Amino acid sequence: MIRAEGMHRFLLLTALLMLAGCSTDFQPWEGRNAVIEGNGGTRKVVDAVDIWTNGDPPRKFRILGIIEDERPGGFLYMAERKHDIARKAREHDGDAVIMISSSSQLQGYYSTTTVNTQIYPGGSVLSFGSGTSVPITRRASKFLVIKYVD
């Protein structure tokens, strides 16, 4: 019975985290001097979009906007982050993105315990149990969406 109750709690927490979900929002850039020449950095190509995580491209580019991304910090959510960023950049005609910030915030912990007790004839009792705690985090990142200029 205790195991079923623990499973119900786990499923409820999973459902709540799914509802919390991800937010990947684009905001257009408005201003002068939107064409910049970069100095170089590190790049990874994801879904045909350059993702610059340290530095910027060693060529001229124009700033199109900023993507703000917020999501739970779990493995499954983070595995999709770069793909979501690349998709959003392409939706707004971007060739690449430049990471400008990334942070993580601890939201709390999910803890669960299970105890099994068996009572034997003659009054002897055997109990054993286990427990686990998992941190719940939230990630926030910002990326410049850019278009290469020839």
Give the pLDDT confidence of 100-142 residue by residue, as tens digits. Answer: 999 988 888 888 999 999 999 988 999 999 999 888 888 899 9
Give the residue numbers spanning the domain of 28: 2-148
78 close to 69: Cβ distance less than 8 angstroms: no
* pLDDT per position as a tens digit, 81-104: 999 999 999 999 999 999 999 998
Write down the pTM of the prediction.
Answer: 0.71
51 close to 82: Cβ distance less than 8 angstroms: yes
Domain count, the chain: 1
Q: What residue has token string 């700033």?
A: 63
Mean pLDDT of the 15-38 span: 76
